[in-house]
Structure 1
Amino acid sequence: MKEKTIILLLIFFSFNASLAAQKRKQFHIKRSSIAPKIDAQLSDSTWLQAASIEDFIQQSPFNGDKPSERTIVKMAYDDDALYIGAQLFDSQANQILTEYGIRDAGDQLNADLFSVELNPWNDSRTAVEFMVSASGIQMDSRNTIHAMNKAWDAVWESEVKLYDWGWAVEMKIPYSALRFPKSDIQTWEVNFFRLIKRKNEGITWNFVDKNVYGWLNQAGELHGIKNIEPHTRLSFTPYLSTYLEKESNESFSTALKGGLDVKYGINESFTLDMMLIPDFGQVESDDHLLNLGPFETFYDEKRSFFTEGMELFSKGNIFYSRRLGGTPIRKNEVWNQLSENEIVSDNPNETQLLNATKLSGRTNKGLGIGFINAMNSNEYASIKDTVSGNKRKFLTQGFSNYNMLVLDQSFGNQSFLSFANTNVVSNRSDFKSNVTATEFKFTNKAESYALSGNAAISNVKNFEDKETGYRYYLQFSRIKGKFQFDLIHTITDEKFDPNAMGYLEKNNEFTNLLRFKYNLYQPFGIFNELTNMLQVVQNNLYSPNEFASLELYWNTNAVFKNYSSLTFESSFTPVPKYDFYEPRIEGWKYKEPIDYWFSLTHRTDTRKNLALQTKIAYWRGTTFNKESYWIEFTPQWRLGDKLFLSHEFAFQSNKNSLGFADTNADASEIYFVNRDINTISNTFEGRWIFNRKSSLSLRARHYWSEVEHKESYLLRRNGTMNPDTDYSNQNHINYNAFTVNLAYNWEFAPGSNLSLVWKNNIQASNSRVDQNYFDNLADILESDQFNSISLRLLYYLDFHQLKKKLK
């Protein structure tokens, strides 16, 4: 074992000498004494004296070739902001695409784009991007080596203008929108991106090699910025919301809510965000679904405070922001507290946040520091005696404090070492949780190989019980070249539990994964690009050490010359697998059959006014005649530059799907049921863009899942089924979730917004399985439902600008 470790380390570090990292381009800019007018004319004296670049290179479709059109970019700066001016020449200027969209639509638009990506920390790990479309729609995002976070919004200026030679864009990015190290002389990472949409041609200034993992690490350098200091970065965003709400069989109720968001720049590197008396009433509804499995449903975060600038808090993989203001800790205990004739009349799904605060930034030595704290009030369920009418309350979660601390040291070349800790205290619920994690990544100088991993320890006290658990994860990867691979090993013991403030679907696992990738990004034959991946995953139960599953997975994605694409996926488990979680009782397992599945997804060219995505899939198990098939059909229409419509239809049918049903009184016997599950979902989306600042959007979704119970079985200890059982409960399930979100938004000033939102929410369940789709829908629309109409005003106040106006 020792010899193998030494060999791996020698291989890893030998590439430092044999491979050279790509040389970065340098852009030297000058200070300007006069700020240019942001009008997309580029006629100011600032631009006549500004440094410029035009040596761009193709990113796609011909990775590394010369661009088909000329691009000139100029930059300047002063004491207040950074300025970018770009002339985007086009030999067919009358064909420039200019679809409108909502803010942050970005590359989803059928429009030409231009963006600048800046990383003042020069560590190849993060960046902020400012993008403008040819129709003037802004997008800003905080990017990591893995993904873009479009939920981050900054206040900055831009303007575009179409000409007979192409189009132009001007940007003003105030320092209040940036964080940078305290240094007299700044060296930033920078790259520029242009998309010529009708050609699907992407070009960058510093070459972005598609055969290298990531793009932030392939930026150029920005030189010349000296002696800049941000003005006081203090902004207030007060809000006022008024609600008109109605539940079925009840009269309308009204509510008036107010609160305040404060953003304070402690210095040029660190920002403090505070949210006082938060209100999330206008946040888009979750896509609820029927969950028959042993694990909770994971929902994406949609609240802006918990999506903006949250990159640091992902370190260690122990933070799930939906826990803050999430499900009460003792919500499911209410039913155990009922006496005779009592029912649960109300049991809130969410706790009420009182406030939330986060601090984040990075020192000039590359140390990132993040801290978040939130508090919620007491949450109660209501219990009613159906005979006497008396009511009482049950505390499902007492006043609780959540906090997380993150330290993240960057070493350059994507390398870092981080420490993270989460802590939750709910005294009246007698609950405490403390989870500590570390994460690291080290790459060689050529950034062709990487060694990464994390480790975590959890300590949870719930009433009288205390448990300590651990998890670790190791990964060795080749991250450069046509051929890449990942070797992954992870262990999670049976007591590891980060779920008070994080999300873990299951613990007590031992996993080994081997992944191979072979990608061709240069066009050839009928293809623009072709990517392939083979993955082998082996899972074991950790304690006791028992085999769980072995899976072979294949994925091929082809993009054709006409910009349609085809994705083929397949999976095969060559030996029976064991599910240790579906029985819901520790020490039991369910033996699943050898199975296989495949899917085929076709997408037409999304530049067309009518585009279509179609997916078909089939799964087959070798016992109990288990099979499943599903189809997805998603057309989208563009009617001019301002109206967009889409409809997603999905149907899935699971035949003979065995699953947990119940246990006997002393949990010595476990009953499974054979069932057919049919699920249909329809999601309609529409956007009407009035102008760059105002829009009307609609999202309506109906989800219907019908479960018909058939034969019952008694689970044996070896995981097989015994048909000799006295279980006879045939409770079929007919579950529906129907939501509508209709919103008008008007950005009447930078950072200030007026929104009018109507939300409708229906969730209903019964045991009817004999209805067709339209009869079922008609019944659902007559079910109990919740309607909310809200008007919300947010006004952005910049202390520095306000101070200037008052002088």
Structure 2
Amino acid sequence: MSKKILYTALLVIFFLPSFGQDMIYHIRKTDSPIKIDGVLDEAVWEQLDVAQNFFQYFPSDSSKADSQTEIRLTYDDHFLYFSAKMYNQSEDRDYVVPSFRRDYRGNQIDGISLLFDTFQDKTNAFQFGVNSYGVQREGLIAGGFGGTSWSWDNKWYAEAKKYPGYWVAEGAIPFKSIRFKEGMDQWNINFYRLDSENGERSTWNQIPRNYDIKSLAFTGVLQWDQPLQKPGSNISIIPYAATEINRDFEDENQSSADSKVNFGGDAKIAIGSGLNLDLTVNPDFSQVEVDQQVTNLDRFELFFPEKRQFFLENADLFSNFGHPYYARTFFSRRIGIVNDTINDEIRPNKILYGARLSGKLDNNWRIGLLNMQTESIEDINLPSFNYSFAALQRKVFARSNIGAVVVNKQSFDSPNDNMDFDPDHYNRVFGLDYNLASANNKWIGKASYQRSWDSDSIDVEEYAHSFWLAYRGRDWRVEWAHTLVGKGFNAEMGFVPRNGLFRIENTLARNFYPKKGPINFHQLEATLETLWGDTETTGEQVKSDQLVAITENIQFQNTSRLDLSLRSRFTYLFNSFDPTNTDGQELPADTEYTYRWFWARYGSDQRKLFSYSIVGQYGEYFNGKRFRLGGDISYRIQPFAAFSLNLNYNRLSMPVPYNSADLVLIGSRIDLTMTRNLFLTSFLQYNNQAENFNINTRLQWRFKPVSDFFIVYTDNYATMDMNQDFGLQKRNRALVIKLTYWLNL
């Protein structure tokens, strides 16, 4: 009987029928020219099928949308064309748009988005969007749960115009800008609209609102009138030229500014219609914005996401192996930087060249290959390293997949005098992953196993394992997760903040949908997370951390949000630790602490020109007290300017002889968008914990699609003098001028 129950449960998990895939759009080819101008005066638009009768997603998901939308699609040998007509509730209204900057984000904006799952795997898709001012955005959806990477760029065309009672978007997407299998006559698609007038969000194919509006489990079908053909040669060359002037004022050996000129570039080559080969020679990533600083009260390394364009297409195939926060197999930000243990700093390590092949072999198989070479650094006797990655993934069941990965980091240089860098060093990791996503999106999960080998192997627990399973129904969400990271597991191309770890996390949440009143949705959530680790002295495994949290999340009808949480944490210190991270007296090793606090956050209606969020925390902290107050305020003069100020203040009151501290982090951003092609962004950050004041200003002129001219200025100051009084001491300064050009062959 127990076996029958088990088999039945497995069938329920893996083979539940898909919900809502009943919408079909029949697309027909056109021979008529279409001008992308937001004016639907071409006769062909009146001859096409119409995707209409959109469903409401927010504030409810049980009725048709109040503000309806009509979408039409057609194509020729080179482009996929779309037109969208968005009706309003009133004849004359204001539209919400943050700026003219490309890749706009947020649920408060008036915009239309199109999702194309070109291989019908319901886990990966291309997303294209246009707002009411004609600003474009494009991104990649990976994993099937709705998350989009907006850092991906590609060449396509769109315009928008406003009319009494409605607005229109019109676009042309080159077939060369997307990947698809030649000979297919169906794609999965969906469209969703954001309407600020009533805070409404709507979709063409209906999606339950307890899932992401971009969830690929709920898509319709795009039925082509004939099988698609390969769009011809698809090669893009993206050369760059850059000059940089920099000065390190803390380096006594650098008495004047250094300057250098760099040339290099990337190439994107389509292999068939489903694979993409990325090549790079002497890459330069200077146009990437600086990472936002944080107040660090953690004992372990912090995680920052990848933003570099070369690593983004099919990024999930590379970055999703292992556990995302405790044992990630591959983390591309490890390539191009090195820990300089001689000078105790993180510094860039020049990438000489790289190649990356990724994409679909067919509807079921995906492949990812990468090889990159960095140069040696003579002043610290750092050898050059070669980074290699190979992954193969197979789709199974409705939306799940299983994959295998091998990564290798290896040096080839002759011996040197730096004991921190072995000239014959290598590090290798093999991993297996199973990613579960049921057809109806109710069951999701992941199981992974990894094994490492390296030249400094200690031959003790050189493995990591994780498992996660979640049920996400309309009313209930239940999750179980456990993670094990062995003492000797070493993934130098990955992200492993701590070793000798065993972790269990359980979550239970109940969703509520009030039919009346100002609250649209609220959720009560309980979480229990426990970690065990090995002590340094005896090697005995003990409970090192435990978090108990009760959280209430409230979504209001006007799109504002309130989150409240009561939390209790237990911490056992394996090593001595200063809880303020200010180099003060450390709490002794082999001591334990239990502390409780209250946390709250409120975010206002983002549709308003003035919006804000505020976060507060008060309670115990190790053997002291912690008070936190933070948040941000934003104001926009749409569509030309947006101003924001972020503040995070922590008051840590610790008993003598330990340090008390007032930690202040202030960041401001000024975003000026004079046109859809000319942008000026200035980002200022002050962090008294790091004793650093940073300025980053970037002027960008997009003189052609995906072709840019940048001027980037960066300045860093130490904010304390030798007497620990506030003052600005110059640290380093850089000016970069860069030109990139996207050329299609």
Give the TM-score normalised by the residue count of structure 2. Answer: 0.90
Matched with 2:218 is: 218
Change (3 A) 1:787 1:435: same
Q: Residue 98 of structure 2 contacts residue 642 of structure 2 at CA under 8 Å; is this kept in 1?
A: no
Letter matched to residue 152 of structure 1:
W
Give the conservation status (yes or no) of the 8 Å contact 1:759–1:788: yes
Residue equivalent to 1:301: 306
Does the alignment pair 1:743 with 2:684? Answer: no
**CA RMSD across the alignment:** 2.6
Aligned twin of 1:410: 395
Once the two structures are superposed, the pairs formed by residues 51-450 of structure 1 within 5 Å of their partners are 51-99=49-97, 101-108=99-106, 111-144=109-142, 145-146=144-145, 147-182=147-182, 184-212=183-211, 215-224=215-224, 225-248=226-249, 250-288=255-293, 294-316=299-321, 317-328=328-339, 331-332=340-341, 334=342, 349-381=347-379, 394-395=380-381, 397-411=382-396, 413-428=398-413, 429-450=423-444
Letter matched to residue 607 of structure 2 = R
**Cα distance change on mapping 1:228 and 1:93 into 2, 3 Å:** farther
Alignment match, 1:726 = none
Which residue number corresponds to residue 681 of structure 1? Answer: 665
Judged with a 3 Å threshold, the aligned counterparts in structure 2 of structure 1 residues 176 and 496 are, in CA distance, closer, same or farther, namely same
Q: Report SS of the residue matched to 2:659.
A: strand
Alpha-carbon distance in 2 for matches of 1:156, 1:657: 60
> CA contact under 8 A between 1:294 and 1:582: conserved in structure 2?
no
- Aligned residue number for residue 754 of structure 1: 709
Q: Paired residue for 1:714?
A: none
Q: For residues 284 and 370 of structure 1, what CA distance do their matches in structure 2 show?
A: 27
Matched residue type, 2:198: K
> Which letter maps to 2:681?
S
- Match among 664, 684, 704 for residue 688 of structure 2: 704
Deviations for 1:191-216, whole angstroms, at most 9, x for unmatched residues? 01111113211111001112347711
* Number of the residue aligned with 2:741: 795
Find out whether 1:566 has 2:562 as its counterpart.
yes
Question: Structure 1 residues 437 and 8, CA, compared in 2 at 3 Å: closer, same or farther?
Answer: same
Aligned-pair CA distance for 1:220: 0.9
| Whole-Å separation in 2 of the counterparts to 1:180 and 1:327 | 38
The percent of aligned pairs where both chains have the same amino acid is 21
**Preserved contact between residue 408 and residue 418 of structure 1 (Cα < 8 Å):** yes
Q: Say which SS state the counterpart of residue 216 (structure 1) adopts.
A: coil
In structure 2, C-alpha distance between the alignment counterparts of 1:9 and 1:476, rounded to whole Å: 17
Is 1:496 aligned to 2:496, yes or no? no
Amino acid at match of 2:469: F
Partner Cα distance (1:409, 1:55) in 2: 36
- Structure 1: distance between partners of 2:490 and 2:496: 7
* CA distance, structure 1, for counterparts of residue 499 and residue 716 of structure 2: 34
Greater helix percent: which structure?
1
Q: Aligned pair 1:45/2:30, yes or no?
A: no
Q: Is the 8 A contact 1:12 1:449 kept in 2?
A: no
CA distance in 1, matches of 2:473, 2:607: 31
> What residue in structure 2 maps to residue 549 of structure 1?
545
Q: Is the 8 A contact 2:562 2:601 kept in 1?
A: yes
Q: Deviations over 1:524-575 (max 9, x none)?
A: 32201212321111222266332223321122211223332211122124xx
SS at match of 1:29: strand
Structure 1 SS opposite 2:105: helix
Give me the whole-angstrom Cα distance separating, in 1, the residues matched to 2:139 and 2:529: 34
Label 1:446 to 1:262 Cα distance change in 2 as closer, same or farther (>3 A): closer
Aligned length: 709
Distance 1:445 1:161, change over 3 A: closer
Cα distance change on mapping 1:693 and 1:113 into 2, 3 Å: same
Residue pair 1:97, 1:110 contacting (<8 A) in 2 also = no
Which is further off, 539-548 or 689-698? 539-548
- One-letter amino acid of the counterpart of residue 455, structure 2: K
Q: Residue type matched to 1:310 in 2?
A: A
Q: Show the counterpart of 2:585.
A: none
Letter in 1 for 2:47: Q
- The Cα of 1:468 is off from its aligned counterpart by 6.0
Q: Could you tell me how far apart the structure 2 residues matched to 1:765 and 1:287 are?
A: 21
Q: C-alpha distance in 1, partners of 2:297/2:108?
A: 40
**For structure 1, which segment, 632-641 or 352-361, has the greater mean C-alpha deviation from structure 2 after superposition?**
632-641
Instruction: Name which of structure 1's ranges 642-651 and 549-558 shifts more when overlaid on structure 2.
Output: 549-558
Report the equivalent of 2:479.
Answer: 486
Q: Flag the 1:528–1:109 CA change in 2: closer, same or farther, 3 A.
A: closer
Cα distance in structure 2, aligned partners of 1:20 and 1:796: 40
The structure with the larger Rg is 1
Which stretch shows the higher mean deviation, 37-46 or 692-701? 37-46
Per the alignment, do residues 305 and 457 of structure 1 end up closer, same or farther by CA in structure 2, a change over 3 Å counting? same
Matched position secondary structure for 1:107: coil
In 2, the alpha carbon distance for the partners of 1:521 and 1:399 equals 58
**Please, which of 568, 574, 579 is the counterpart of residue 573 of structure 2?**
579
Which has the higher mean CA deviation after the structures are superposed, 681-690 or 447-456? 447-456
Aligned equivalents of 1:169 and 1:80: distance in 2? 20
- Say whether the 8 Å CA contact 1:79–1:229 is kept in structure 2: no
Please list the CA deviations of residues 453-495 of structure 1 after superposition, one character each: whole Å capped at 9, or x if unmatched: 1111111213x86666111112222123220111112222111
Shift of 1:253: 3.7
Change in CA separation of 1:12 and 1:763 when aligned onto 2, cut-off 3 Å: farther
Per-residue deviation at 1:348?
6.3
Matched, 1:469 2:415: no
Listed one character per residue, the Cα deviations across residues 171-225 of structure 1 (whole Å, up to 9, x for unaligned) are 111111110123x232111001111113211111001112347711111111115
Partners of 1:657 and 1:8 in 2: how far apart?
A: 55
What is the DSSP-based 3-state SS (H/G/I as helix, E as strand, rest coil) of the residue aligned with 1:94?
A: coil
Deviation of 1:347 (Å)? 6.6
Distance 1:475 1:78 in 2: 45
Post-superposition Cα deviations, 1:286-332, rounded to whole Å, max 9, x if no partner, equal 3456767653343332322233441211231311111101124xx22
Residue 32 (structure 2) aligns with:
34
Query: What is the identity, as a one-letter code, of the residue corresponding to 2:202?
Result: I
Q: 1:522 to 1:581 in 2, by over 3 A?
A: farther
**Could you tell me how far apart the structure 1 residues matched to 2:17 and 2:359 are?**
33
The one-letter code of the counterpart of 1:651 is Y
Q: Is the counterpart of residue 524 in structure 1 residue 516 in structure 2?
A: yes
**Cα drift, residue 790 of structure 1:** 2.1
Out of 416-425 and 14-23, give the one that drifted further.
14-23
Residues 458, 488 of structure 2: 8 Å contact kept: no
Match of 2:652, SS? strand
Q: Distance in 1 between matches of 2:438 and 2:194?
A: 32
- Aligned with 2:320: secondary structure? helix
Structure 1 gap ranges (5+):
335-343, 382-393, 659-672, 706-734, 800-807
What's the offset of the Cα at 1:768?
Answer: 4.6
Q: What secondary structure, in the 3-state scheme, does the structure 2 residue paired with 1:232 have?
A: coil
Task: Measure, in 1, the Cα distance between the counterparts of 2:106 and 2:477.
Answer: 29
CA distance in 2, matches of 1:485, 1:557: 16
The residue type equivalent to 2:170 in the other structure is E
Structure 1, 56-65 or 42-51: larger mean CA deviation: 42-51
> Which stretch has the larger CA shift, 514-523 or 743-752?
514-523
